[in-house]
Structure 1
Amino acid sequence: MEVGQRDGSSRSTLSQINVTPFVDVMLVLLIIFMVTAPMLEQGVEVNLPEVADSPGLEASKEPLIVTVTRSGALSIGQTKVENVAKLMPVLKQILKTRKEKEVFLEADRDVPYGKVVQVMAAIKGAGINKLGMVSQPPESPAKR
């Protein structure tokens, strides 16, 4: 017996799966996995031995700041450096004892651009890939 319309004609039924809810669920799962993936801890769990009275090998937590004054004088922290050529070896020596290979460059706004680029090249030549430029925020109109 065929299923038909009231007017007597027969029509086959079309059955289709609605994929819209499926796609919605998959997108929600994708977002959940993208958010949680960076939080997963990777590596092998190891129980490290305990040692009493060990000297710490912790490097200085203070940031390493290279300063270029208006006159062109260079310094690393409080240590004066004679010229750009001597900056690279001094930085290499300092960075041997540091875990973080990061330097901040503080240059006076009146220092010629070429001098700043030379200092940046010396910092890069010392093996530092993280270089931060120190600046100050602009004054708000109320402070002027």
Structure 2
Amino acid sequence: MPEINLVPMMDVIMTILTFFIILTMTMSNFQSVDIRLPGRGDGKSAGTNNTPTKPLIIGLDVRGQIRSREIGAIDRAQMTQQIQAYLQQNPEGVVVLNADKDVPYAQVVQLLSAMRDVGGGRVSLAIQ
């Protein structure tokens, strides 16, 4: 009974693999940049206070009700006022939307859009 010789097939596969490795290395224009990274030091930057601001967390439950940790159940107008007050008091603060996983995505997007109208780029969506 004749046997199949696998050595030529392995040679072809290795040649193709080598070709793609070399091709990938030449196509990626990775340029190294000489950068001096800052040292660890004492962990504090000069002139700034490194205490992180506590984010404002706005929740959205399954029933579509907006909740705040500070107040509890709120409507959109109260949410807008709370975000504005928080961002005025904390210029570096971040507003986080923490939505239940069973809330329809359309509601999450609508609320996130309303929050971004008030908070601009300092609004985030929490995920798990």
Task: State the TM-score bracket (shorter-chain normalisation).
Answer: 0.5 to 0.7
2:60 to 60, 68, 71: 68
Q: TM-score, normalised by structure 1?
A: 0.49
Deviations 1:28-59 (A, max 9, x none): xx7353x22x75xxxxxxxx8xxxxxxxx998
Q: Between the two proteins, what is the percent identity of the paired residues?
A: 24
* Equivalent residue, structure 2, for 1:89: 81
Distance 1:105 1:65 in 2: 6
- Equivalent residue for 1:104? 96
Task: Say if 1:126 and 1:101 are closer, same or farther in 2 by CA, change over 3 A.
Answer: farther
* Match of residue 128 from structure 1: 120
Q: How many residues align?
A: 89
Instruction: After the TM superposition, list the runs of 4 or more consecutive aligned residues in structure 1 that deviate by more than 4 angstroms.
Output: 57-60
**Residue 61 and residue 108 in structure 1: after superposition, are their counterparts in 2 closer, same or farther (change >3 A)?**
same
TM-score calculated relative to the size of structure 2: 0.55
Please tell me whether the aligned partners of residues 60 and 98 of structure 1 are also in contact (alpha carbons under 8 angstroms). Answer: no
- Which residues of structure 2 form unaligned runs of 5+? 1-30, 39-46
Cα-Cα RMSD:
2.9
| 1:86 CA drift (Å) | 3.2
Larger radius of gyration: 1
**In proportion to residue count, which structure has more helix?**
2
Which residues of structure 1 form unaligned runs of 5+?
1-29, 40-47, 49-56, 137-144
